[in-house]
Amino acid sequence: MPSKTIVWFRRDLRLHDNPAWNHAVGKGSAIIPVFIHSPKEECPWQRGEASNWWLHHALEDLASQLEKHGLDLVIRDTKNTLQTLTDIIDESGAEAVCWNRCYEPAMVKRDKEVKKQLQEAGIETHSFNGSLLLDPLKVTNKSGKPYQVFTPFWKHCRDIEVRKPETEKLKSAKSHSVKSLDLTELNLLPNIPWHEGMAEFWTPTRDGAIELLESATSKSKDYDAQRDIPSDDGTSRLSPYLHFGQISPREFFHHIRDNAPSKEKADTGIIRQLYWREFSAHLLFHFPHSQDSALKPEYEQFPWDFNEKLLRAWQKGETGFPIVDAGMRQLWHTGWMHNRVRMIAGSLLVKHLLQPWQEGARWFWDTLVDADLPNNSMGWQWVGGCGADASPYFRIFNPITQGEKFDPDGDYVRKWIPELAELPTEFIHSPWEATPIELKAAGVELGKNYPKPIVTHKEGRQRALDAYEEFKEIKES
């Protein structure tokens, strides 16, 4: 009888360039593919509804990939991952468990305990890096410490060879039958059908990832010029596929490197952004407190002024600043927001409105299909001025001039805020400056069908600067 090996899928929902899968196939084992839906008790940052929608379809797609190998995906829902793995081992007679590592703090802690207990029970375990280009434990500065600034991290890492992706190893033998839940029993799909926009915007399968990867290759030539224009399809939009592991970062890296029209432009543009993803994971792995606390501890004393009404207006895209509101509405409709607009919307929340960056992080976590703990935490701390490589808190985006610069014709605003569509371009980012006659001609009633600014830029900017001065006094006292 051949040995039996459990391949424990997590955020590696693919077979191509999947180290755990390839190791199990290489052993000649009968394979039992398993996905375990983990509880909040083990993973405090539980997926939001948008991510759950994506996960449902990604698991459906993984099951289809496995069926081609004569395998059925075993699905379990549990309050104790170790116990569930032990149960599957007992039911199947498996002698080994393989998985690809996750590097978030709760996952690292849980996986260490799982590995320890399984090994003590005589079960062979193998874990691999299948989600990053480089293992965070193996990247250090000259002093042997983790990096906290991106540029030296990038300069160091870009000189490290990235291994070629492994092709998918074939498997056709039927695995031992183990009981499984039906995917629908995980209840990942929203109860209220608000996700139609996501379904129109995304194809959450490996084929969808490959299609976008092909288009990203051609975009790489003009990536730096186009990636900040939200009305253009200038970014790769591959972040959710990378998060759920429907493509691997090595696959992304080498496909762009091998096929980009300009290798130099690809390296300084789209490839560099891939290393920002690596940097985020590196930071969270080495500084686990930064998942929900400031990387720079002194910022825990910052005088935020939480206000649920202001937060709610921002969440609903009703701040009165068109570029921000357009982004928030794009997020709600598609589960995604253009990166430049993420920075503008984030800046308005934490600076003009003085809301804690954690509130923005929680909202993005619940509404983004690409919600990724390292990227989300680092991005919000960058905006809040309290993270690595952060924008200083006193650097405050002007949402009006940002809109005029990156959406000069107002195409992005008109798409997501149709009530402003008829406004002349000169007023599209500041409708309050239009005359009553111009507003009436465009069908805009400020305060009725589109809000007045929740705070003026001048007032919001001064409020942020005053808070920063107060913070400096607190630090010095």
Greatest alpha-carbon span in the chain? 84
Q: 238: annotated binding-site residue?
A: yes
Q: 372: annotated binding-site residue?
A: yes
Give pLDDT, residue 261: 78
Q: 177: annotated binding-site residue?
A: no
Give pLDDT, residue 15: 96
Q: 47: annotated binding-site residue?
A: no
Q: Identify which of 134, 127, 100 has the alpha carbon closest to the alpha carbon of residue 250.
A: 134
- Contact present, 23 and 166 (Cβ < 8 Å): no
Question: In terms of CATH architecture, what is 132-164+199-286?
Answer: Alpha Horseshoe (1.25)
- Top CATH class, 297-472: mainly alpha
Give pLDDT, residue 112: 96
Q: 220: annotated binding-site residue?
A: no
Length of the chain: 477
Give pLDDT, residue 151: 93
Give pLDDT, residue 445: 96
Q: Identify which of 342, 347, 359, 348 has the alpha carbon closest to the alpha carbon of residue 306.
A: 359
- Contact present, 312 and 167 (Cβ < 8 Å): no
- Contact present, 361 and 371 (Cβ < 8 Å): no
Indicate the pTM of the whole model: 0.95
- What are the pLDDT tens digits along the chain (477 aa)? 568 999 999 999 999 999 999 999 998 889 999 999 986 666 777 888 999 999 999 999 999 999 988 899 999 999 899 999 999 999 999 999 999 999 999 999 999 999 999 999 999 999 999 999 999 989 999 999 999 999 999 999 999 999 999 988 876 655 567 999 999 999 999 887 777 899 999 999 999 999 999 998 888 777 877 888 999 888 899 999 999 999 999 999 999 989 887 777 777 788 999 999 999 999 999 999 999 999 999 999 999 999 999 999 999 999 999 999 999 999 999 999 999 999 999 999 999 999 999 999 999 999 999 999 999 999 999 999 998 876 677 789 999 999 999 999 999 999 999 999 999 999 999 999 999 999 999 999 999 999 999 999 999 999 999 999 999 999 887
In the three-class reduction of DSSP (H, G, I as helix; E, B as strand; rest coil), residue 35 is classed as: strand
Q: Identify which of 242, 263, 262 has the alpha carbon closest to the alpha carbon of residue 252.
A: 242
Give the CATH number of domain 4-130. Answer: 3.40.50.620
Q: 239: annotated binding-site residue?
A: yes
- For residues 59 and 71, give the distance between their C-alpha atoms in angstroms, rounded to a whole number: 14
Same fold, 4-130 and 297-472: no
Show me where the domains of the chain are located: 4-130, 132-164+199-286, 297-472
Give pLDDT, residue 191: 83
Q: 223: annotated binding-site residue?
A: yes
